[in-house]
Amino acid sequence: MKKIKSYYILIINHSMELTKEQKKEIQEQQSQKYSTKRVTSPDLEKILYEAIPVLDHGFVRVVDYMGDDTSIVQSARVSYGKGTKKVSTDSGLIKYLMRHRHSTPFEMCEIKYHIKLPIFIARQWIRHRTANVNEYSARYSIMDKEFYVPSKENLAAQSTNNRQGRGNLINGTQADNILKILKDDAERNYQHYEEMLNEKYDGTIIDDKKQGLARELARMNLTLNSYTQWYWKTDLLNLLNFLALRADSHAQFEIREYADVMMNTVKKWVPTTYDAFIDYRVGGMELSAKGKIVIQKMIKGEKCNIESSGLSKREWNELMDSFGFKQHLV
């Protein structure tokens, strides 16, 4: 099971910088107090609206949510109020729902995030078509002058056995040159973006005698490591499906960093559901019918090999590795 990071909600000494206006807005939001009859999650309330740093300039903020663990239980039982059931009984029900993929009750909780992320990660993220999304408009506004540049320890060559993965780290002068290219290209393209707009990112007009190109056209020249922002609202079921894929060790590092932060918000929001999710989805595994037969034979002490299993080499090795049978890897 992969280790989930624990995040302290501090912005100090991090490369992500919030403007004075943004900090003021967050402080005003956090100072608001409301009385409600609806359920709230105390731990999530503590970090509500807070900008949690991700990558070099990104962040994740929880800006709204609905429901908690009891909402899932109520939905499953179609009951009124919390009832008289014990917490242990509620926990058992949530585990049962998670274990048997009875998913509808988890749809009764919703959460809304404000996320700042590189465009190339946003394009990967948007493939999860199970959320309501409203993105920063580059037709209406000028894009921020901020770009994602990976750190040296995350600069890797193309994997030789995985077409969508990374291999060995790139070091030395080659790494320095790649980072320089990424920075220079982003800076140069943004400078051209401003020239075409005839306007600086802070709104200053460059040449009063010139017309600026339409923002919807000028934006096409920006690099994919430019940062965008969006509001992303989804229900708990689809959030967990997203995290099962994007917090996994096979996911791209950059989107995994966001998923790890969001995983921690789930832990604060619905701790019982989080524990069940870690147990049955993140730390668990699925077996094919053939894989199940292989494990059953091994438990009985019967002879079993890849030739008789009907599994491919990759399937066999994944199965052996998952159960710690390193001596049977081929």
89, amino acid identity: T
Q: What is the pLDDT of residues 79-123, one digit of tens each?
A: 655 555 566 688 999 999 999 999 999 999 999 999 999 999 999
In the predicted structure, residue 312 carries a pLDDT above the cut 80: yes
**Alpha-carbon gap, residue 103 to 76, rounded angstroms:** 10
Q: What is the pLDDT of residues 3-44, one digit of tens each?
A: 444 433 333 334 567 778 888 888 887 788 778 888 999 999
Torsion of the alpha carbons at 26, 28, 31 and 36, rounded to the nearest 10: -90
Mean pLDDT of 127-134: 94
**Alpha-carbon gap, residue 328 to 28, rounded angstroms:** 60
Question: What is the reported pLDDT for 82?
Answer: 57
- State how far the alpha carbon of 267 is from the alpha carbons of 44, 50, 56, 141, 142, in Å: 9, 16, 24, 35, 36
Question: What is the reported pLDDT for 3?
Answer: 43
Question: What is the reported pLDDT for 159?
Answer: 82
DSSP per-residue string spanning 122-171: HHHHTT--SSEEEE--TTTSPPPS-B----GGG-EEEPSS-TTSEEEEP-
Please list the active-site residues: 246
Reported as type and span, the H/E element at residue 186 is helix 172-197
Mean pLDDT of 163-175: 87
**Alpha-carbon gap, residue 133 to 129, rounded angstroms:** 9
Task: Check if the beta carbon of residue 233 is closer than 8 Å to that of residue 134.
Answer: no
**Structure tokens belonging to residue 102:** 């009875």
Task: Check if the beta carbon of residue 131 is closer than 8 Å to that of residue 232.
Answer: yes
Reported as type and span, the H/E element at residue 308 is helix 306-309
In the predicted structure, residue 252 carries a pLDDT above the cut 60: yes
Question: What is the reported pLDDT for 79?
Answer: 60
Mean pLDDT of 159-163: 78
Mean pLDDT of 225-248: 97
Reported as type and span, the H/E element at residue 227 is strand 227-235
Reported as type and span, the H/E element at residue 206 is none
Highest mean pLDDT, choosing among 14-18, 84-88, 166-170, 227-231: 227-231
Hey, is 277 helix, strand or coil?
A: helix
Reported as type and span, the H/E element at residue 222 is none
Mean pLDDT of 175-182: 95
**Alpha-carbon gap, residue 293 to 63, rounded angstroms:** 48
Question: What is the reported pLDDT for 85?
Answer: 59
Question: What is the reported pLDDT for 257?
Answer: 97
Question: What is the reported pLDDT for 87?
Answer: 60
Hey, is 78 helix, strand or coil?
A: coil
Task: Check if the beta carbon of residue 60 is closer than 8 Å to that of residue 246.
Answer: no
Question: What is the reported pLDDT for 15?
Answer: 53
Task: Check if the beta carbon of residue 35 is closer than 8 Å to that of residue 28.
Answer: no
In the predicted structure, residue 239 carries a pLDDT above the cut 90: yes
Q: What is the pLDDT of residues 186-210, one digit of tens each?
A: 999 999 999 999 999 888 999 999 9
